[in-house]
């Protein structure tokens, strides 16, 4: 694939797709594409927060969220994906048994940082573990939930009994 082809660039940022450098760094790569940062920038930020972090190993969700917070945005994870917005998709791996794998939805297509081409929306629909998106991208959904289920009125103990 040529470096200038659309498949080699992320629709979300226009930057090159970030590919895995080890068998376990898929979340680091997905987060790099999601945040518009490079692999090395994410790895450096992880080491600031956790000096023993090894980029070749797995990144935890809590570390990813901490880095996002330090960069000025909040992440929310759920079992629902708003496909109108970019997000990180956690699925069951098709290449490693009993293992999760992070993909990136760039707003137009799923990108596998491992470059396998094995994952598609049908697989995600049947095997997704978790979706992570920016809180600001989900503001409309959060408001919709509030409209459906307004907070219960507060009652005093005397009113309750």
What is the tens place of the pLDDT at every residue in 6-50?
579 999 899 999 999 999 999 999 999 999 999 999 999 999 999
Straight-line distance from the first to the last Cα atom of the chain, in angstroms, rounded to the nearest whole number: 70
Predicted pLDDT of residue 1: 41
CB 101 within 8 A of CB 50: no
The rounded distance, in Å, linking the Cα atoms of 15 and 161 is 61
DSSP-assigned letters across all residues of 92-152: E-SSSTT-EEEEEE-SSSEE-TT------HHHHHHHEEEEEEEGGGGHHHHHHHHHHSPPP
pLDDT in tens, 53-111: 999 999 999 999 999 999 999 999 988 899 999 999 999 989 888 889 999 999 999 99
Structure confidence at residue 154 as a pLDDT band (50, 70, 90): low
**Complete domains list, the chain, with CATH:** 6-135 (3.90.70.10)
Residue 14: how many other CB atoms lie within 10 Å: 9
Bridge pairing between strands 100-105 and 87-92: antiparallel
Predicted pLDDT of residue 151: 63
Pairwise pLDDT comparison (76 vs 160), residue with the higher score: 76
Reply yes or no on whether the pLDDT at 161 is more than 50: no
The length of the chain is 161
pLDDT in tens, 129-142: 999 999 888 887 77
The rounded distance, in Å, linking the Cα atoms of 72 and 82 is 21
Kindly report the pTM of this predicted structure.
0.84
Residue 48: how many other CB atoms lie within 10 Å: 11
């Amino acid at each position: 694939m040529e470096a200038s082809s659309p498949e080699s660039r992320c629709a979300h940022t226009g930057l090159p797709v970030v590919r895995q450098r080890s068998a376990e760094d898929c979340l680091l790569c997905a987060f790099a594409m999601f945040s518009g940062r490079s692999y090395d920038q994410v790895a450096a930020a992880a080491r600031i927060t956790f000096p023993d972090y090894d980029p070749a190993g797995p990144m935890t969700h809590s570390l990813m969220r901490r880095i996002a917070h330090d960069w000025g945005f909040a992440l929310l994870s759920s079992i629902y994906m708003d496909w109108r917005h970019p997000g990180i998709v956690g699925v069951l791996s098709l290449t490693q048994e009993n293992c999760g794998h992070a993909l990136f939805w760039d707003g137009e297509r799923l990108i596998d940082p491992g470059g396998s081409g094995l994952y598609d929306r049908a697989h995600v629909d049947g095997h997704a573990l978790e979706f992570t998106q920016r809180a600001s991208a989900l503001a409309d959904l959060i408001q919709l939930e509030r409209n459906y289920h307004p907070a219960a009125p507060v009652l005093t103990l005397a009113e309750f009994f």
